[in-house]
């Protein structure tokens, strides 16, 4: 895996969470009980749903960026495959938030995703610090 999958899955994930934003707009503006939904802005399912939407798009963008960097610097970076997989696994965080909201599952996926995405970003930063620039 050289970053291509991070870019492809990142765009697909971003598309999903952008579409999910339309569901949130529907719930806020058009659904029966919209006033109750709007009034629960900072608590419960409304808050968690917004967290999933925001983090889903952020983590999708991070995968696109990480994938691009892995492709562009493939001849100079080490541990590319591990960084790539960690970033992809990070997408479990927003998915985990949705499974909490809609299925009542425990936050295990949230924690796994948060830890792996953070690890991938730090690892890539260290890889760039160690990168040798040859002219």
Instruction: Give the predicted TM-score (pTM) of the model.
Output: 0.92
CA 91 to chain centre: 4
Q: What is the pLDDT of residue 40?
A: 83
List Cβ neighbours of 1 (8 Å cut-off, separation of 6 or more): 80, 81, 84, 85
In whole angstroms, give the CA distance from residue 102 to residue 37: 15
Q: 97 and 51 in contact (C-beta within 8 Å)?
A: yes
DSSP helix/strand/coil, 75: coil
The C-alpha angle with vertex 117 and arms to 111 and 119, in degrees rounded to 5, equals: 100
Q: What is the pLDDT of residue 57?
A: 97
Q: What is the pLDDT of residue 79?
A: 93
Q: What is the pLDDT of residue 132?
A: 83
Tokens 């808050």 map to which residue? 47
pLDDT in tens for each of the 135 residues of the chain? 689 999 999 999 999 999 999 999 999 899 998 888 888 888 888 899 999 999 999 999 999 999 999 999 999 999 999 999 999 999 999 999 999 999 999 999 999 999 999 999 999 999 999 998 876
Q: What is the pLDDT of residue 1?
A: 66
């Amino acid at each position: 895996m050289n970053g291509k999958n991070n870019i492809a899955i990142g765009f697909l994930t971003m598309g999903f969470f952008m579409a999910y934003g339309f569901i949130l707009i529907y719930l806020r503006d058009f659904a029966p009980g919209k006033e109750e939904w709007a009034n629960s802005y900072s608590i419960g399912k409304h808050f968690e749903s917004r967290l999933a939407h925001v983090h889903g798009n952020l983590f999708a963008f991070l995968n696109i960026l990480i994938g691009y960097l892995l492709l562009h610097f493939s001849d100079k970076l080490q541990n590319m495959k591990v960084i790539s997989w960690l970033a992809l696994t990070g997408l479990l965080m927003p998915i985990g938030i949705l499974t909490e909201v809609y299925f009542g599952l425990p936050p295990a996926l949230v924690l796994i995703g948060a830890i792996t995405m953070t690890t991938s970003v730090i690892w890539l930063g260290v890889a760039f610090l160690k990168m040798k620039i040859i002219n």
